[in-house]
Structure formats: C-alpha cells, structure tokens
C-alpha cells in the first residue's frame, strides 16, 4: 500500500466549539499523522476559490459564507491510503447519514456544519494541499 497525503479542514462549527483536539485525536487513533497544520480564517474569496468545483451547486453561496465565517484548521494528513481512510474516519457528508463513531456522526451539526472537509481523490488532494501549503511546510 502507498503512503499518501490528504488535505483536511476542521471547519468553523468545530473551532467555535473548541473540539479541534478531539477531532485530531480521532485522526491519530485511526492511523493518520498530522504532518502540517495551521489555524487560519479564510476570506470569502479564498473559500470561493477552494470550493470552485461546487460553483454551480445551490449551496455554493452559503457554503462559502459559512467557511469564511470563523477560524478553520487546515492540515495535511499522511498515512497508508490516507485519502480513503480519512473519508472513512469522517463519515458521510450529512451527519444524519454518517456511521457510528465517525467524526461527522459524533461532531457534525448538519449537512453544511459537518465539522470536517477531506479531499475526495489523490488528484484533488494534490491540488488542495498546494492551495494551503508549500512543500517545505510539510514535515513528515
Ligand atoms: P465538504 O466535504 O467540505 O464538501 C462540500 C461541502 O458543501 C460539504 O462538505 C458541506 O459542508 C457543504 N454542503 C452544504 N449543503 C450540501 C449538500 N446539500 N450536499 C453536499 N454538501 C453540502
């Protein structure tokens, strides 16, 4: 199996409730290593650029406003099959449909305030990681 990296964002609903450490513990206990991390606040323009693949979706405007409404923690997670593993750890987009023990089931509030984002493929991960981090900022 290949060592892989994925981009994760702990979203404003989670930073607001001060549960970033609990979420990081879930990543680490499941075998992912946090190899880069920073707390930041996205501008509306950054959120729009990051989520541009969703520009045609009905929720795009609200999503970008929400993602720029408070602090986020952006991070690079590394591990065997990190992209797929992180999607398992997060659970379904809508917390109501997420499996027991997943981050979104345990922490998510609703389909928008779902506590975490994770890349959906290795190709997306490469694009999303470079959106936030230079190679020298990622220390394995
Ligand atoms: P994320 O994995 O970050 O990818 C896109 C985000 O859009 C998603 O998580 C949710 O936070 C948000 N979103 C809001 N409404 C919907 C919806 N109806 N379907 C999918 N994603 C939604």
Quick one: pLDDT at residue 2?
84
pTM comes to 0.98
Q: Helix (H, G, I), strand (E, B), or coil: what is residue 78?
A: strand
Of all protein residues, the one whose alpha carbon is nearest to atom 14 of ligand 1 is 112
pLDDT at 1 over 90: no
Of all protein residues, the one whose alpha carbon is nearest to atom 11 of ligand 1 is 112
Residue 53, token pair as written in the block: 């693949």
Quick one: pLDDT at residue 103?
99
Catalytic residue ranges: 117
Rounded distance from Cα 56 to ligand 1 centre (Å): 13
Of the candidates 84, 75, 63, 83, which has an alpha carbon nearest to the alpha carbon of residue 13?
63
Quick one: pLDDT at residue 41?
98
Of all protein residues, the one whose alpha carbon is nearest to atom 12 of ligand 1 is 112
Q: How do residues 75-126 score in pLDDT, each as one tens digit?
A: 999 999 999 999 999 999 999 999 999 999 999 999 999 999 999 999 999 9
Cβ–ligand 1 distance for 5 under 6 Å, the answer: no
Residues 6+ apart with CB under 8 A from 98: 90, 91, 92, 104, 105, 108
């Amino acid at each position: 199996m290949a060592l892989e990296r994925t981009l994760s964002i702990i979203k404003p609903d989670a930073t607001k409730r001060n549960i970033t450490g609990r979420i990081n513990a879930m990543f680490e206990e499941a075998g992912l290593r946090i190899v880069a991390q920073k707390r930041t606040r996205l501008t509306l323009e950054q959120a729009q650029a990051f989520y541009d693949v969703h520009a045609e979706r009905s929720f795009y405007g609200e999503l970008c406003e929400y993602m720029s409404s408070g602090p986020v923690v952006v991070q690079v997670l590394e591990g065997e099959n990190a992209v797929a593993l992180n999607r398992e750890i997060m659970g379904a987009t809508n917390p109501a449909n997420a499996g027991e023990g997943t981050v979104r089931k345990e922490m998510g509030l609703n389909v928008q305030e779902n506590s975490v984002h994770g890349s959906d493929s290795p190709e997306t991960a490469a694009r999303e990681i470079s959106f936030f981090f230079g190679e020298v900022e990622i220390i394995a």
